[in-house]
């Protein structure tokens, strides 16, 4: 199936042709939208981003959510606090999360967990307060 078709001069994306990274972005958006229903004011100035992999040298610090079962910490997400006029930013790393998921539902759950952990860290709250079980 082609990624897009032209209908009466307008390019229309075909839903079956969404890439894996586009589907991942959709899952991140869903996780953010769920949290914004409750924390809209607190998240208004926060930027959310997806990167394929963590930059080299991204180690363990307070802003990193990591999986330590792989023989060493593998960053899954990172919180960059607001600094010098730049807004706070939550970054989710696509490839490490995809590598740990068994299916789409598991991936959605992992993404949600990472986003909740980062937002909780940003707000100085327990993750169960940010997203009650």
User: What is the tens place of the pLDDT at every residue in 31-73?
Assistant: 999 999 999 999 999 999 999 998 876 655 666 776 767 666 7
Distances (CA, A) of 35 to 41, 68, 83: 11, 26, 23
Domain locations in the chain?
19-130
Q: Which two tokens stand for residue 85?
A: 């006029």
User: What is the tens place of the pLDDT at every residue in 99-113?
Assistant: 999 999 999 999 999
Checking if the pLDDT of 24 tops 90, the result is: yes
Structural contact between residues 73 and 32, judged by C-beta atoms closer than 8 angstroms: no
Task: Name the band, by pLDDT with cuts 50, 70 and 90, for residue 4.
Answer: low
CA-based R_g, the chain, Å? 17
Q: Classify burial at 104, counting beta carbons within 10 Å of its beta carbon; exposed 0-12, middle 13-18, buried 19 or more.
A: exposed
pLDDT of residue 22: 87
Spatial distance between the Cα atoms of 44 and 36, rounded to a whole number of angstroms: 8
Beta-bridge partners for 89 = 47, 80
pTM for the complete prediction?
Answer: 0.81
pLDDT of residue 46: 95
Task: Name the band, by pLDDT with cuts 50, 70 and 90, for residue 74.
Answer: confident
Mean pLDDT, the chain, as a whole number? 86
Task: Name the band, by pLDDT with cuts 50, 70 and 90, for residue 114.
Answer: very high
As a CATH number, domain 19-130 is: 3.30.2010.20
Continuous H helices in the chain: 20-43, 94-100, 104-123, 127-130
């Amino acid at each position: 199936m082609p990624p897009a078709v032209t209908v009466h001069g307008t390019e229309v994306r075909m839903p079956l042709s969404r890439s894996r990274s586009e589907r991942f972005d959709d899952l991140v958006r869903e996780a953010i939208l769920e949290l914004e229903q409750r924390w809209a004011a607190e998240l208004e100035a926060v930027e959310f981003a997806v990167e394929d992999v963590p930059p080299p040298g991204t180690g363990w610090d307070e802003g990193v959510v990591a999986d330590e079962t792989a023989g060493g910490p593998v960053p899954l997400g990172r919180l960059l606090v607001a600094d010098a006029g730049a807004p706070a930013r939550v970054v989710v790393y696509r490839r490490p999360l995809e590598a740990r998921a068994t299916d789409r539902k598991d991936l959605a759950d992992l993404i949600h967990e990472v986003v909740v952990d980062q937002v909780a860290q940003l707000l100085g709250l327990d993750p169960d307060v940010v997203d009650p079980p």
